């Protein structure tokens, strides 16, 4: 009988189900932004095929920018989602950690010479070392949070403060420049392919995490620890390990973004690189409708959220909002989006829908 009831309510509460779906808000926001741009200036959607200085074909346009820079955020959102879910807090040292990763990568590639003719070691090897370093910094954050029970934002405040200094110190405060053109492929374009490489890297990362979530129990473990640590422990899980693991995975994401960022300029600016990127990454998670207090998470929603945030940033740039004023405009939009995606508002919205059978279960 209950089945019958469920079937009946399915049709009438289609809209309610739609608004209740976690992907609804980020998708709706994306649609809204795109429609806004369409009305204001369809030029937003223009994509042109041109040639870069090296004579290779490259696509350009606002949508390509979103695809390019949104991919960095999407990669970070993967790690940030896991950290948020497991610890109920966020890592605010992501930008600083990217600076460290980038700096380490350059140091590995250049050695002591800041203007090397040839690279000291293969990029792959340097990248692996960078990953290890970034994961160690992740483990450091994770240990503060999981072992010493410090609030994640406070724990990562340490690295947030110190990270850029550490990054500068790694290269003796010098600014290495890599002249090897192939190094620019990671943050730019692979010759012959007009789509920006970061997008492919993001696709690869998303594929990896999708496989990990499918073929391991990472999702269940992370959620269980995030929702009820005590209970997780009595079910044989090790909450300390799971939390540290989430920070280590974020560390890996940071290393990947570090590679992209450094590759974009073949150099580094310690105080500017990836500045405030942690806020966008956290917003991506929030916009995806994931509770910032941890627990259940939806990875797809976070990743879409990342591109939405980038879409917003790009839209604002397009309308010539000054770089200084950008955060203020962004904040307004973000407040609206986050409030809309709050469970409380979603319940209310769903209740407004005609004949919406709310799915509340009676005691």
Partner 1 sequence: MAENIVLQMKNIHKSFPGVRALQGVDFTLRKGEVHALMGENGAGKSTLIKVLTGVYSKDEGQISIEGKEVAIHSPQEAQKNGVSTVYQEITLCPNLSVAENMYIGRLENICQNWKKMNTDADKILQSLDIPAKATQQLSTCSLAVQQMVAIARAVDTDCKVLILDEPTSSLDEQEVEKLFKLMRDLKGRGVGIVFVTHFLDQVYEICDRITVMRDGQLVGEYEIEKLPRVQLVSKMLGKELDDLSDIQGEYSTYEPKEGEAPVFEAEELHSDAGIKPFNFHIKKGEVNGFTGLLGSGRSESVRAIFGADRILGGRVKMNGKPVKIRKPIDAMKNGIAYLPEDRKRDGIVGDLSVRDNILLAQQVLRGFLKPFSKGEADKIADEYIKLLSVKTASADTPIKSLSGGNQQKVILARWLLTHPEYLILDEPTRGIDVGTKVDIQKLVLKLASEGMSVTFISSELDEMLRTCSRLVVMRDGRMVGELSGQDLNQNKVMNTIAGGDK
Q: How far is the CB of 4 from partner 1 (least distance, A)?
A: 10
Applying CB under 8 A, does 344 fall inside the site for partner 1? no
SS3 18: helix
| Identified binder of partner 1 from the candidate list 39, 55, 117, 215, rule CB under 8 A | 215
In three-state secondary structure terms, 60 is strand
The answer to the question of residue 348 lying near partner 1 (CB under 8 A) is no
End-to-end CA distance of the chain: 18
The verdict on 218 binding partner 1 (CB under 8 A) reads yes
In sequence order, what are the beta bridge partners of 58?
50
- Minimal distance in Å, beta carbon 13 to partner 1? 9
* Chain Cα centroid distance, residue 333: 18
Structure tokens at 81: 């989602």
Closest CA to 95 of 78, 73, 110: 73
Q: Can residue 363 be called a binding residue for partner 1 (CB under 8 A)?
A: yes
Report the alpha-carbon distance of residue 138 to residue 134 in Å, rounded.
6
Is 5 or 115 the residue whose CB approaches partner 1 more closely?
A: 5
Shortest CB 349 distance to partner 1, Å: 17
Residue 59 phi/psi, 5-degree rounding, is -90, 145
Using the contact rule CB under 8 A, the part of the chain among 203-211, 226-234, 257-265, 316-324 near partner 1 is 226-234
Least separation in angstroms between residue 140's CB and partner 1 is: 23
Interacting positions 245-304 with partner 1 (CB under 8 A): 295-296
Report the nearest approach of partner 1 to the CB of residue 295 (Å).
5
Does residue 184 belong to the site contacting partner 1 (CB under 8 A)?
Answer: no
Q: Is 285 helix (H, G, I), strand (E, B) or coil?
A: helix
Q: From the CB of 7, what's the least distance to partner 1, in Å?
A: 12
The binder of partner 1 chosen from 80, 224, 256, 283 (CB under 8 A): 224
CA 145 to chain centroid, in Å, comes to 20
Give 148 or 230: the residue with its C-beta nearer to partner 1: 230
236 in contact with partner 1 (CB under 8 A): yes
C-beta closer to partner 1: residue 173 or 231: 231
> What is the Rg, in whole angstroms, of the alpha carbon atoms belonging to the chain?
22
Cα 143–Cα 241–Cα 252 angle in degrees, nearest 5: 75
Residues 27 and 17 sit within 8 Å (Cβ to Cβ): no
- For residues 228, 229, 231, 232, the Cα torsion angle rounded to the nearest 10 degrees is 110
Residues making contact with partner 1 (CB under 8 A): 2, 5-6, 9, 214-218, 220-221, 223-224, 227-228, 230-238, 295-296, 357-363
């Amino acid at each position: 009988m209950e089945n019958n009831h469920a079937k009946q309510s399915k049709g009438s509460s289609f809209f309610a189900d739609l608004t209740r779906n976690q992907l609804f808000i980020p998708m709706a926001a994306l649609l809204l932004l795109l429609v806004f741009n369409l009305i204001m200036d369809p030029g937003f959607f223009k994509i042109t095929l041109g040639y870069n200085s090296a004579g290779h074909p490259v696509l350009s346009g606002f949508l390509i920018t979103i695809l390019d820079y949104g991919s960095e955020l999407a990669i970070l959102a993967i790690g940030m989602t896991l950290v948020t879910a497991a610890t109920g807090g966020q890592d605010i040292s992501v930008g600083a950690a990217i600076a460290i990763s980038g700096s380490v990568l350059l140091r590995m590639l250049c050695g002591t010479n800041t203007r090397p003719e040839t690279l000291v070691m293969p990029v792959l090897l340097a990248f692996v070392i960078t990953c290890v370093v970034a994961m160690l910094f992740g483990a450091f954050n994770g240990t503060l949070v999981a072992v010493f029970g410090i609030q994640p934002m406070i724990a990562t405040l340490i690295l947030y403060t110190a990270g850029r200094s550490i990054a500068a110190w790694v290269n003796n405060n010098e600014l290495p420049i890599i002249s090897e053109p192939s190094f620019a492929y990671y943050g730019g374009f692979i010759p012959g392919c007009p789509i920006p490489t970061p997008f492919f890297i993001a696709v690869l990362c998303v594929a990896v995490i999708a496989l990990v979530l499918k073929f391991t129990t990472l999702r269940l473990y992370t959620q269980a620890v995030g929702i009820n640590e005590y209970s997780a422990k009595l079910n044989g899980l090790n909450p300390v390990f799971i939390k540290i693991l989430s920070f280590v995975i974020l560390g890996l994401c940071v290393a990947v973004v570090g590679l992209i960022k450094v590759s974009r300029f073949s150099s580094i600016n310690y105080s500017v690189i990836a500045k405030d990127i942690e806020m966008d990454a956290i917003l991506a998670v929030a916009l995806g409708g994931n509770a910032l207090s941890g627990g259940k998470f939806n990875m797809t929603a976070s990743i879409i959220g990342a591109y939405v945030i980038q879409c917003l940033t790009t839209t604002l740039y397009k309308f010539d909002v000054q770089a200084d004023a950008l955060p203020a405009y962004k904040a307004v939009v973000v407040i609206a989006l986050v409030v809309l995606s709050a469970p409380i508002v979603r319940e209310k919205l769903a209740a407004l829908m005609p004949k919406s059978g709310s799915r509340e279960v009676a005691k």
